[in-house]
Chain A
Amino acid sequence: MAASLRQSIERFSDPCSLDASVEEVFGTVLGWDCQLDPEPNLREEEAVTAVVGLGGVLSGACILRAGGGAARMMVARMTGMEFTEIDETVQDGMGELCNMVAGTWKSRQPELAAGCGLSVPAVITGRAYNLHVHAPEFELRHAYCAEGVSFAVTIVCDGLR
């Protein structure tokens, strides 16, 4: 299994797969047409970061990060509600978006379908923080824009069995 997974690492780390997963999730759930953002503005004071762990034959995480305003806008679109603050519903919605991106990306990798599971989402809010993974096998990170807001999605792999 390890040899075959390692042979697939080039495909796992193909950014087109991440882009297609983001397009599918944000298009279906929010009706947004996402474009790659070469100069993302992710410097809002407060950020919301959702993390879904990947475990099993591939370990790592899927990370969705957006500024507070962008996160409120996304979840408002999902729920039909309006938000003036980053409350539990906004955190919940960001976690679900991240979960769907992780699941969609994983479903595009046949080797991972049955042997790799997803954790329930965790959500971090705050200012001026960074997530760091030591010596990853690969890391995919793209920023996207839609409806005037930017967000970033990262898939990081720190182990292949």
Chain B
Amino acid sequence: MAEIRVLIVDDSSVMRKIVERALRQTGLQLARVYEASTGTEGLDVLAASPVDLVLTDINMPAMDGLEFLRQLRERNLAPRVPVVMITTESSEEHVKQAIVAGAQAYLRKPFTTEQVKERVLPLVGAA
């Protein structure tokens, strides 16, 4: 399995660690893990560094995950990089908003390693 570079955007440092650990538990080889605690920081990372996968929380102060994703697409940053939205909100409306904004997949917290395998690995050609 090829090594990939990942950006994790979440205002919670604990959740960033949990997401990274879950990715490693799927067997993914992570060449580089970038962390951002805000959407703005995430955009700055993407402007400076190539990544293969983005995972972002939705419910964040200042710039939420949906706005982060909209700006990412508007600024044409990482145009072919898959984005996974992670949140406690799992209504049909929230999923629809995430997909319309340009997300490829959706994980509801709390998530299992199996759910990460099922939804994230196909996006990076590692299913």
A-side residues, CB < 8 A to B, are 24-25, 28-29, 75, 78-80, 88-89, 92-93, 95-96, 99-100, 102-104, 106-107, 113-114, 117-118, 120
Contacts and interface: CB of A to CB of B under 8 A. Distances in A.
Which DSSP category, helix, strand, loop or mixed, fits chain A's interface? helix
A117 B58 CA distance: 12
Contacts of A25: 110
Nearest to A93: B14
Contact of B91 (A96, A99, A100, A114): A114
Contact of B12 (A29, A96, A106, A118): A96
Nearest to A88: B13
A103 B61 contact: no
A118 B91 contact: no
Contact of B18 (A79, A88, A113, A118): A79
B112 A96 contact: no
B59 interface: yes
B44 interface: no
Interface residues of B, number: 24
Contacts of A75: 14
B60 interface: yes
A103 B89 contact: yes
A79 B14 contact: yes
Contacts of B93: 113-114
B70 to A, nearest CB: 18
Contact of A114 (B60, B92, B111): B92
Contacts of B49: none
Centre residue among B87, B89, B111 by max chain A CB count within 10 A: B89
B89 A89 contact: no
B90 A96 contact: no
A107 B108 contact: yes
A106 B13 CA distance: 24
B88 A102 contact: yes
B109 interface: yes
A29 B92 contact: no
A29 B18 CA distance: 9
